[in-house]
Amino acid sequence: MRREPLPLDKIRARHHALHQQIRALEQLLEQREEPDEARVREALVLFEGFEPMLEEHFAVEERGGYFSDVLKVAPRFTRWATRLERNHGDFRARLQRLLELAHNAVDAPDKWSKVISGVAEFLQKLKEHEAEENDLVRAAFMDDLAPGD
């Protein structure tokens, strides 16, 4: 009997951890009251802390955290996996731009709404990326675990 969905659990756990960070940021952004400078600074600190975490998340995936696990069991998904992996570069560049924008906006309340919508859009795209990775992993491992395999 096969007892191997371990890589899948690892991937799920990593995605769950990242998702919690995303939620924390979103909750901060969703607060309805007018933002004041203290809250903007708090958001910036949280957002700055998010960067190394995301970088680590991407780096682990690229080092073979799941791409290689997926491709080992389902090499036919190579193109899908490669495309997702390449998206990391866009996210990195976008995040750098957003961080710069956020830094420059701390003392400029007229720019806050632009930063907030930029971060919200970034998080939305990132969630879509993560969801697609989960789909890929699920497809790869479901096929692998299908009867007759």
Where does this chain bind Fe ion (CB under 5 A)? 61, 130, 133
Calculate Rg over the CA atoms of the chain: 18
Q: Smaller CB distance to Fe ion: residue 35 or 87?
A: 87
Q: How far is the CB of 117 from Fe ion (least distance, A)?
A: 23
For Fe ion, the closer CB: 69 or 133:
133
Nearest distance from C-beta of residue 57 to Fe ion, angstroms: 6
Please state the closest distance from residue 75 (CB atom) to Fe ion, in A.
19
Pick 69 or 130: Cβ nearer Fe ion:
130
End-to-end CA distance of the chain: 12
- For 95-140, the DSSP string reads HHHHHHHHHHHTT-GGGHHHHHHHHHHHHHHHHHHHHHHHHHHHHH
Contact between 148 and 19 under an 8 Å Cβ cutoff? The reply is: no
Nearer to Fe ion, 88 or 111 (CB): 88
How far is the C-alpha of 106 from the C-alpha of 149, rounded, in Å? 56
* Residue 88 to residue 99: CA distance in whole angstroms: 16
In whole angstroms, how close is the CB of 103 to Fe ion at the nearest point? 25
Nearer to Fe ion among residue 36 and residue 56 (C-beta): 56
Q: Which residues contact 110 (CB under 8 A, 6 or more apart)?
A: none
- Report the nearest approach of Fe ion to the CB of residue 41 (Å): 28
